């Protein structure tokens, strides 16, 4: 994919192109597409819309394009209505991409993650600019602002803004977008990825008048009754393996339908088993859209990125990764259990 942009000094975990390079790239572009990953989450949407708002202020023609719909609990985000859903408006999306002279790739690092949209983008010639915090990116971009130590892509967008010399453009709307990604990707500021820097950025965001409790409320306290009952079912049927360290939740299509599953309803469910003393590895399986969507979470040195890459065609971070399986739900779970108890 796009080998012309291969950089022999490519770092596995960090590469932030310098101020001169990123400033020149941003100065030169006029029409910009921002794409983020399939099943966009708070960090994907927050970082994309924050960058969108910044580029608008810099007088660029810009659109955010998502591979498929974002969940309802993110619909309050500023400018979310301007986002183009590739699955729904493929023609419009392709037309805008074709006009663009720069394409940002946010919160993911392989075009394979965005399926058909990725194939289309791979066939285009405009430079790609990757801003992300996942490990081991594919080498399809020309510009990189990439750091696996960042707690979220929103943290990197904040740095990017500062590095461009545009911190003065930070306003309440951009701050709300960035706070959403910081909050959701750190499990409300409780994961080990949280540092002094995370909270320093939050302090800067607060100066704009952004209200964190409103954002917590909008993202977390908007469950439907069905979603809450689905969570109840998930917790009741959670399995803990005989190692007493591994737990999993598996939801069949029938169960999801019973509780009238809506996009985003299972967001965060994978983390619940950690509340059980001793659990250091959680897996979540959901049967949907003709395949099994998988999430893995771990504590400490257990590398679920490696596990997901090796066994479930996925990837992510050391402590949070995802993957897919085309086996049945039961076979997928059996494969997982066998691997964990090996
Ligand atoms: P989640 O479990 O929340 O869907 O994803 C956890 C992390 O793993 C996220 O950072 C996400 O970007 C990454 N991830 C999820 N699914 C996949 C996948 O199928 N492939 C890859 N490479 N990464 C994934
Ligand atoms: Mn992220």
**Do 122 and 31 have their domain in common?**
yes
Tens of pLDDT, residue by residue over 84-97, are: 999 999 999 999 99
Tens of pLDDT, residue by residue over 120-148, are: 999 999 999 999 999 888 989 999 999 99
From 322, 323, 324, 326, the mutation candidate for ligand 1 (largest count of ligand atoms within 8 A of CB) is 322
Q: Are 177 and 154 in contact (CB under 8 A)?
A: yes
**Do 173 and 244 have their domain in common?**
no
**Do 265 and 284 have their domain in common?**
yes
- Distance (Å, whole) CA 214 – CA 175: 13
Residue nearest to ligand 1 atom 16, measured at CA: 322
Residues 6 or more apart whose CB falls under 8 angstroms from that of 160 comprise 22, 51, 131, 145
Report the pLDDT averaged over residues 47-75. Answer: 97
pLDDT at residue 2 greater than cutoff 90: no
Domain that holds residue 27: 3-220
* Atom number, ligand 1, closest to the C-alpha of residue 108: 12
Secondary structure (DSSP) of 135-166: SS--S--SEEEEETTSS-HHHHHHHHHHHTT-
Angle formed at CA 312 by CA 252 and CA 67, multiple of 5 degrees: 75
CA of 306 to the centre of ligand 2 (A): 17
pLDDT at residue 8 greater than cutoff 80: no
> At 325, which helix (H) or strand (E)?
strand 320-325
pLDDT at 10: 56
- Distance (Å, whole) CA 51 – CA 64: 9
pLDDT at residue 201 greater than cutoff 50: yes
Tens of pLDDT, residue by residue over 241-284, are: 999 999 999 999 999 999 999 988 998 999 999 999 999 999 99
Q: Sheet of 14-16: strands edge to edge? A: 14-16, 143-147, 128-132, 102-106, 31-36, 61-66, 84-85
Domain boundary among 165, 185, 220: 220
Average pLDDT, the chain: 94
Report the pLDDT averaged over residues 195-217. Answer: 98
pLDDT at residue 302 greater than cutoff 60: yes
pLDDT band at 310 (very low <50, low <70, confident <90, very high): very high
pLDDT band at 301 (very low <50, low <70, confident <90, very high): very high
Q: Are 172 and 146 in contact (CB under 8 A)?
A: no
Residues 6 or more apart whose CB falls under 8 angstroms from that of 171 comprise 53, 208
- Distance (Å, whole) CA 293 – CA 38: 12
Domain boundary among 220, 243, 273: 220
Would the CB of 40 count as within 6 Å of ligand 1? no
Q: Which ligand is nearest to the CA of 193?
A: 2
- By mean pLDDT, which of 6-15, 180-189, 310-319 is the weakest? 6-15
Residue nearest to ligand 1 atom 20, measured at CA: 314
**Do 98 and 196 have their domain in common?**
yes
**Do 159 and 275 have their domain in common?**
no
Secondary structure (DSSP) of 249-313: EEE-HHHHHHTT--TTTTTTGGGGGGGSTT--EEEEEEEETTEEEEEEEE-TT--HHHHHHHHSS
**Do 112 and 257 have their domain in common?**
no
Q: Which ligand is nearest to the CA of 184?
A: 2
CA of 186 to the centre of ligand 2 (A): 9
**Do 54 and 100 have their domain in common?**
yes
pLDDT at residue 1 greater than cutoff 90: no
**Do 312 and 210 have their domain in common?**
no
**Do 158 and 257 have their domain in common?**
no
Would the CB of 113 count as within 6 Å of ligand 1? yes
Count Cβ atoms within 10 A of the Cβ of residue 283 and give its class: 0-12 exposed, 13-18 middle, 19 or more buried.
buried
**Do 256 and 242 have their domain in common?**
yes
Count of structural domains, the chain? 2
**Do 177 and 271 have their domain in common?**
no
**Do 201 and 233 have their domain in common?**
no
Task: Give the pair of three-digit tokens for residue 42.
Answer: 């708070």
CA of 300 to the centre of ligand 1 (A): 18
CA of 196 to the centre of ligand 2 (A): 18
CA of 168 to the centre of ligand 1 (A): 33
Domain boundary among 203, 220, 237: 220
pLDDT band at 6 (very low <50, low <70, confident <90, very high): very low
CATH number, domain of 270, equals 3.10.310.30
> At 104, which helix (H) or strand (E)?
strand 102-106
pLDDT at residue 232 greater than cutoff 90: yes
- Distance (Å, whole) CA 245 – CA 13: 28
CATH number, domain of 212, equals 3.90.1640.10
pLDDT at 274: 96
Full-model pTM: 0.89
């Amino acid at each position: 994919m796009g080998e012309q942009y291969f950089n022999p000094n490519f770092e596995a975990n960090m590469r932030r192109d310098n101020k001169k390079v990123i400033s020149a790239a941003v100065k030169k572009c006029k029409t910009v597409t921002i794409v983020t990953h399939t099943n966009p989450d708070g960090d994907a949407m927050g970082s994309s819309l924050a960058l969108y708002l910044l580029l608008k202020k810099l007088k660029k023609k810009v659109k955010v394009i998502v591979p498929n719909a974002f969940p309802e609990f993110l619909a309050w985000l500023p400018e979310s209505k301007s986002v183009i859903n590739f699955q729904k408006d493929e023609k419009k999306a392709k037309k805008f991409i074709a006009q663009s002279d720069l394409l940002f790739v946010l919160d993911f690092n392989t075009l394979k993650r965005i399926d058909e949209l990725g194939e289309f983008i791979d066939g285009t010639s405009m430079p790609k600019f990757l801003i992300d915090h996942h490990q081991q990116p594919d080498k399809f971009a020309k510009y990189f602002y990439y750091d696996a130590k960042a707690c979220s892509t929103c943290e990197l967008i904040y740095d990017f803004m500062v590095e461009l010399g545009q911190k003065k453009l930070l306003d309440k709307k951009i701050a709300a977008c960035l706070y959403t990604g910081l909050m959701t990707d750190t499990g409300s500021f409780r994961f080990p990825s949280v540092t002094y820097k995370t909270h320093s950025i939050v302090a800067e965001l607060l100066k704009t008048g952004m209200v964190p409790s409103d954002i917590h409320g909008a993202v977390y306290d908007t469950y439907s009754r069905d979603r809450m009952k689905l969570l109840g079912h998930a917790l009741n049927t959670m399995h803990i393996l005989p190692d007493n360290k591994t737990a999993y939740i598996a939801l069949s299509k029938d169960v999801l339908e019973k509780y009238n599953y809506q996009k985003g309803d299972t967001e965060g469910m994978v983390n619940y088993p950690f509340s059980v003393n001793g659990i250091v590895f959680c897996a979540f399986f959901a049967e949907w859209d003709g395949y099994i969507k998988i999430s893995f979470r771990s504590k400490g040195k257990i590398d679920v990125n490696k596990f997901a890459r090796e066994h479930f065609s996925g990837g992510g971070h050391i402590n949070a990764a995802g993957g897919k399986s085309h086996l049945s739900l039961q076979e997928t779970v059996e494969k997982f259990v066998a691997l964990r108890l090996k």
